[in-house]
């Protein structure tokens, strides 16, 4: 028997975080035949539907993190907000944790992250550490102020248009950035393994829900010129190389005045890469599993134009989740439906998503807009 093959089948993967990203990672790990353990504080979190085992525990519980890492051949995560100190200690002892906790430490702090990218020659918006309110004024309005740590889905980000907005400034440790009047927000998924092999996915457009500042539609491929596409891919790869990343990464970018700037990087599968499940030869979740286990990376070829729509919990609905319009949605040709299995819905909570494939991208966008109007997650 081929010895390598035998080892891979025995591989145990630990995932910190059992939300939708952990669930979809676990699905692909199971597809390859790996054993999956998930650490999450919620006993019936989405990933438990597919994982072999759950360790119930908090992301800052040192003992539980230690237990997971020690019983896994390789550990990864689906969320950035976890205790890195204990992970660094375990990593230094030789445990495989990807992306590395040292990289995660940089990503967790938006200021450190910007510094690494800037020093790596990556174009980023002009930025500065906030020392006092005087610094805010001197920086020049309009300003985007960001909490250094703990933010996600727009929480921890405020726009200060002028001096009159200074009372909206956040009071935690933060950085400020010039406000970019962007044409589009773009994203690129990049996979890299420990040997330095890199694969880049198509450039996509992220469209945001204005009310909640959450990305709610992704258009693949982005409707941009070839030259911008090349620029975005080059910058995305360079960013992950600057971070010495192993795993899959979501690189969020702004397109402004024919230039691409990096906004931030997610060290994990990303919402903007969900379309790859149906639309690419190797999806982001399988690619991540391959990258962290040292397997060769797969082709990222786009098989069809695609549009992904997030199913966010309806505004004013809280409680046991119910889906409205599912039969109608599934009768649309080329539509694929994903529900994460979260029992309770809340306004704007990410409950599922749909991906629509169509050889004509504009037609896929039209179908997606229709679906957004009638497919709803409400509370019973
Ligand atoms: N410098 C900027 N100029 C204009 N808009 C920005 C800027 N930085 C962030 N934004 C907007 O705020 C959103 C959230 O900011 P981001 O830094 O990505 O935080 P989060 O971690 O919450 O995703 C971005 O997707 C973008 O729409
Ligand atoms: Mg973001």
pLDDT digits (tens, 9 = 90+) for 146-182: 999 998 888 899 999 999 999 999 999 999 999 999 9
Cβ(326) – ligand 1 distance below 6 Å: no
Of 24, 128, 147, whose CA–CA distance to 76 is shortest? 24
Residue 6 C-alpha to ligand 2 middle, in angstroms?
40
Closest CA to ligand 1's atom 15? 154
Please give the structure tokens belonging to residue 320.
């046991």
Residue extent(s) of CATH 3.30.470.20 domains in the chain: 184-379
Q: Is 73 helix (H, G, I), strand (E, B) or coil?
A: coil
Contact, 277 vs 24, CB < 8 A?
yes
- In 17-94, DSSP assigns E strands to 35-40, 53-56, 74-77
Residue 127 sits at the vertex; the CA angle it makes with 126 and 133, to the nearest 5 degrees, is: 130
CA–CA gap between residue 143 and residue 317 (Å, rounded): 33
User: Do the annotations mark residue 323 as ligand-binding?
Assistant: no
Closest-lying ligand to the alpha carbon of 153?
1
Ligand 1 near 154 CB (within 6 A): yes
Distance CA 126, CA 106 (A): 19
By C-alpha distance, which of 59, 53, 109 is closest to 79?
A: 59
> How many whole angstroms from 264 Cα to the centroid of ligand 2?
6
pLDDT of 1? 45
* Residue 295 token pair: 């397997």
- C-beta of 153 in contact with ligand 1 (< 6 A): yes
Tokens 């896994």 belong to which residue? 72
Does ligand 1 lie within 6 Å of residue 111's CB atom? no
Residues with CB under 5 A from ligand 2 (ion): 252
CA of 157 to the centre of ligand 1 (A): 7
CATH architecture of 3-97: 3-Layer(aba) Sandwich (3.40)
Q: Ligand 2 center to residue 252 CA distance, Å?
A: 6
- Write down the pLDDT at residue 261: 98
Q: What is the CATH number of domain 126-178?
A: 3.30.1490.20
Output the pLDDT for position 132. Answer: 80
Give CATH 3.30.1490.20 domain extents, the chain. 126-178
How far, in Å, is the centroid of ligand 1 from the Cα of 168? Answer: 16
Give the ligand with the smallest distance to the CA of 107.
1
Please, what sign has the CA dihedral across residues 15, 20, 23, 27? negative
93 known ligand binder: no
The helix-helix angle for 226-242 and 110-119 (nearest 10°) equals: 110
Q: Is the CB of 161 under 6 A from ligand 1?
A: no
CA distance readout (Å), 50 to 98, 101, 335 = 21, 26, 23
Query: Dihedrals φ, ψ of 72, to 5°?
Result: -110, 150
Q: Is residue 99 reached through a cis peptide bond, with omega within 30 degrees of 0 on the bond before it?
A: yes
CA 137 to ligand 2 center in whole angstroms? 24
CB of 278 sitting under 6 A from ligand 1:
no
Q: Which residues of the chain have pLDDT under 50?
A: 1
Between the CA of 132 and the centroid of ligand 1 the distance, in Å, is 21
**CATH 3.40.50.20 location in the chain:** 3-97
157 lines ligand 1 (CB under 6 A): yes
Q: Running DSSP on this structure, what letter comes out for residue 296?
A: P
Question: Is 177 part of any known ligand binding site?
Answer: yes
110 assigned binding-site residue: yes
Closest CA to ligand 1's atom 19: 154
pTM of the shown model:
0.96
**Annotated binding-site residue? 146:** yes
**CATH: 3.30.470.20, 3.90.950.10, 3.50.50.60, 3.40.50.300. Which one for 184-379?**
3.30.470.20
In 3D space, the residue among 330, 221, 339 whose CA is nearest the CA of residue 272 turns out to be 221
């Amino acid at each position: 028997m081929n010895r390598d093959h035998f080892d891979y089948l025995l591989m145990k993967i630990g995932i910190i975080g059992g939300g939708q990203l952990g669930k979809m990672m676990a699905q692909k790990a199971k597809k390859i035949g790996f054993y999956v353990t998930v650490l999450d504080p919620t006993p019936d979190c989405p990933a438990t539907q597919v994982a072999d085992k759950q360790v119930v525990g908090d992301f800052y519980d040192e003992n539980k993190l230690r237990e997971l890492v020690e019983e896994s051949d390789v550990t990864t995560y689906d969320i950035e907000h976890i205790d890195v100190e204990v992970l660094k200690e375990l990593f230094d002892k030789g445990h495989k944790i990807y992306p590395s906790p040292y990289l995660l430490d940089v990503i967790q702090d938006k200021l450190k992250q910007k510094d690494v990218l800037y020093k790596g020659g990556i174009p980023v918006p002009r930025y500065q550490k906030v020392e006092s309110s005087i610094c805010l004024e001197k920086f020049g309005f309009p300003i985007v102020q960001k909490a250094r740590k703990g933010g996600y889905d727009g929480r921890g980000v405020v726009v200060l248009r002028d001096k009159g907005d200074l009372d909206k400034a956040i009071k935690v440790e933060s950085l400020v950035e010039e406000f970019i009047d962007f044409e589009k927000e773009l994203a690129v998924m990049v996979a890299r393994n420990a040997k330095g092999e890199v694969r880049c996915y198509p450039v996509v457009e992220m469209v945001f829900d204005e009310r909640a500042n959450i990305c709610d539609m992704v258009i693949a491929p982005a409707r941009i010129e070839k030259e911008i596409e090349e620029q975005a891919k080059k910058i995305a790869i360079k960013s992950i190389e600057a971070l010495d990343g192993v795993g899959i990464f979501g690189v969020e970018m702004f397109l402004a005045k024919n230039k691409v700037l990096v906004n931030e990087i997610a060290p994990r599968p990303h919402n903007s890469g969900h379309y790859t499940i149906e639309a690419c030869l190797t999806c982001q979740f399988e690619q991540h599993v391959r990258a962290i286990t040292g397997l060769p990376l797969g082709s990222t070829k786009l098989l069809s134009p695609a549009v992904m729509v997030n199913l966010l919990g309806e505004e004013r609905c809280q409680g046991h989740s119910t889906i409205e319009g599912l039969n109608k949605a599934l009768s649309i040709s080329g539509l694929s439906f994903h529900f994460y299995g979260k029992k309770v819905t809340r306004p704007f909570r990410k409950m599922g998503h749909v991906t629509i494939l169509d050889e004509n991208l504009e037609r896929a966008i039209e179908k997606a807009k229709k679906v957004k109007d009638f497919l709803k997650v409400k509370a019973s």
